[in-house]
Structure 1
């Protein structure tokens, strides 16, 4: 039976005007329907799975933006910067240091190209860092692109961020240069790089050929070997596409456990329809968070139960899930999460602070075990195991113009810094209409 659960606001996929939308449930599926007076009706799948969307909640007390960059004039989503109506602090600020790339991926949020003139100057990057510090303080920084390792001065960019005061700086990369240029990786480490967010779509080259246009699995292995040598923590980041790599989730997780403690987590991102995409969405093929949780349980033969995943404390509950697991000596993955604790309401600011600390602690460099060290007693061995062999498994579903819920946008804690220093929620910065036109990305 069809049941309307929420009335919200969205955008028309053609003209990007704000329109009303209804969210309704039927069986294990949740849909959004909306209508534009000029361009007609649209329907998008929001959720599908044995865990129901209506039960995937985590109440938070909204926060206020202490130093908003923009005035509220037109209303969400047209005043991003952050504006005073935004309900969450910045957990991660993403700076695109270049639009150049050494791949031509089928799916690309940034629609990256090879225009060197679009590299940001060090002066501009410094100003962007300063704007983030003024608005959000010591949040986590992710350097992205394009492919940021195409910049020879990336070590200097990392140093600039630490000099201003940012304690955690992560690199979002396809790993090609990390595999091919070990001295460059050493420079990044010496500059203070804390973590690598590594594009990692699967465990065989057929997947990479379909999504990235070439065989890359051996390159990923070499990048991991070099990161292990310099003790840089790595998070594997698969972009999930139905009928391409959604049957490889169990293999990806097994691969990650074999690379502990260098690999700190797996962070899955189901494909969203913005930037560079091969075609318009076929809603039946869209992967949702509910799908992914179900697939993980099946593909790990029940070693990871979907009930061990929890909604986020930082962003909107419907944006992501996460779980932390100890990899035991017998190969078991023991959950560290306590889902019952998610019932406690906390402020959005508390959630953001916990998320920042979690990422910095769980995803950063870990000292590798010393094989020659004196044997530990039982308790110390347990603590060492937790420190070295904890794997974070998470997923984040970015919104596109077809399934956009502005209530989720207001809770966003991952913000792209534009060259003018404004902080734009990730989905809004990358969002494009049917013709590829954007509200914020230039």
Structure 2
């Protein structure tokens, strides 16, 4: 054994985890947002995004913990440029979003922010919510222009109506009807559900206007979770929103922001609750917390939870109701952004995995063209996230044949489990941004990848959100 030199410390002889540079990408400095080189670096079982700014030094953030290994989690895609690019390449990604001709994926879902107002003040929210007057909300003509921009740039993608909390707008049913009249395949409401739980007439008007589904904020099945994340006990209101939306024929996807130490131990309980809630609940979707706003110091690795941890947590906490091996990478967005699996919900509350056969989020197994993946994901989401019909008769009122009845029952029983990891200034990977299929509509009508639109530097500065107010 080699003798220690004078002055060496005992910890110098502690075995360090194996370190391996897996690949190189581009990112931004979280302090100044300067474009810089970044590396995906494996240390033991974990992978970090490591980058160095000439001015602000090195930053590192965990992006993947444990198995499945990051290097095996891939779905090869051939990039496909936007239908009608709205900007040219000038400063490079992510500053030229519009979309620019170098973006590698079409729009699967376009998100319209209908208001900055909200009836909650969640500290973890990425949206720019405030208490401004309703007069500051975009008017109907502006929203119509946004829908025109989406159709021109992306065609008939799915539409998410968001905010703030869009249900603070009394004219939301008219907005829903306008979007439906354009022929978009799915009109989805991103909502905390509070008004829908208490205002029956409002919910009825939304359903009659043609609203298809709710993307319902639903973080857990105990009030302690909501008190920690949302500031007050909300479980009963959330349950009531599900009950009433189901009675009005709306599809529901439960969306949980997963925060370490708060609700990461309730993944299995939430999964079981969603399964038992009935066929109107079409699935449950998990979003690991990401950090926007003012963070003068990088969030600690303990403040993050990664996609493989959620996969494994779902398996262990559900007693094998789902398995980590069930989940596969997406066929639409970048592979490292998400996972999903589709199941049949059995009458006893168990799930039977529907193997990916090319119908869920990709046109076929194996390498795909990005545009084909976007079309498949758009179509699958529009079908799956709407409420199922009863399965006893056709649209014309005729009884269904045995095979048609089987298909209708299969659709009623379909249930999805998915997750998407949004990026912040410490985890931003521009390869992932260029493969994004969820695009926010900026006030001037440009389409901007979701993570680029919501990105903020450590001091709260943004690249795209509110950029029009500073110009």
TM-score computed with the length of structure 2 as normaliser: 0.90
Q: Which structure 1 residue ranges, 5 or more long, are not aligned? A: none
Question: 1:390 matched to which residue of 2?
Answer: 414
Task: Tell whether the 8 Å contact from 1:260 to 1:388 is kept in structure 2 after alignment.
Answer: no
Structure 1 residue 367, shift from structure 2 partner:
2.0
In 2, the alpha carbon distance for the partners of 1:186 and 1:377 equals 32
In 2, the alpha carbon distance for the partners of 1:303 and 1:385 equals 21
Q: Which structure 2 residue ranges, 5 or more long, are not aligned? A: 1-17, 467-471
Pair 1:301-2:323 in alignment: no
Task: Tell whether the 8 Å contact from 1:110 to 1:275 is kept in structure 2 after alignment.
Answer: no
Question: 1:326 matched to which residue of 2?
Answer: 344
Higher relative contact order (CA 8 A, sep 6+): 1
Query: Deviations 1:123-161 (Å, cap 9, x if unpaired)?
Result: 111111000000000000000000000000001111111
Pair 1:350-2:372 in alignment: yes
Task: Tell whether the 8 Å contact from 1:195 to 1:363 is kept in structure 2 after alignment.
Answer: yes
In 1, the alpha carbon distance for the partners of 2:405 and 2:161 equals 35
Pair 1:439-2:454 in alignment: no
Query: Deviations 1:35-62 (Å, cap 9, x if unpaired)?
Result: 1111111011010122111110000111
Pair 1:160-2:178 in alignment: yes
Where 1:23 maps in the other structure, the secondary structure is strand
Where 2:270 maps in the other structure, the secondary structure is helix
Structure 1 residue 328, shift from structure 2 partner:
1.2
Where 1:187 maps in the other structure, the secondary structure is helix
Task: Tell whether the 8 Å contact from 1:107 to 1:276 is kept in structure 2 after alignment.
Answer: no
Where 2:58 maps in the other structure, the secondary structure is strand
Structure 1 residue 163, shift from structure 2 partner:
2.3
Question: 1:258 matched to which residue of 2?
Answer: 276
Task: Tell whether the 8 Å contact from 1:28 to 1:49 is kept in structure 2 after alignment.
Answer: yes
In 1, the alpha carbon distance for the partners of 2:155 and 2:22 equals 37
Structure 1 residue 380, shift from structure 2 partner:
6.1
Where 1:120 maps in the other structure, the secondary structure is coil
Correspondence 1:10-29 to 2 at 5 A:
10-29=27-46
- Partner residue of 2:386 out of 353, 356, 364: 364
Matched length: 441
- Partner residue of 1:48 out of 65, 85, 89: 65
- RMSD of equivalent CA atoms: 2.1
Pair 1:78-2:95 in alignment: yes
- Partner residue of 2:158 out of 121, 131, 140: 140
Structure 1 residue 378, shift from structure 2 partner:
7.7
Task: Tell whether the 8 Å contact from 2:296 to 2:458 is kept in structure 1 after alignment.
Answer: no
Task: Tell whether the 8 Å contact from 1:10 to 1:18 is kept in structure 2 after alignment.
Answer: yes
In 2, the alpha carbon distance for the partners of 1:269 and 1:382 equals 33
In 2, the alpha carbon distance for the partners of 1:38 and 1:331 equals 55
Structure 1 residue 338, shift from structure 2 partner:
3.3
Where 1:367 maps in the other structure, the secondary structure is coil
In 1, the alpha carbon distance for the partners of 2:290 and 2:296 equals 11
- Structure 1: 4+ residue segments shifted above 6 A: 276-279, 339-342, 373-378
Using a 3 Å threshold, how does the CA distance of structure 1 residues 241 and 384 change in structure 2: closer, same or farther? same
Where 1:72 maps in the other structure, the secondary structure is coil
Question: 2:212 matched to which residue of 1?
Answer: 194
Structure 1 residue 259, shift from structure 2 partner:
1.2
Task: Tell whether the 8 Å contact from 1:261 to 1:368 is kept in structure 2 after alignment.
Answer: no
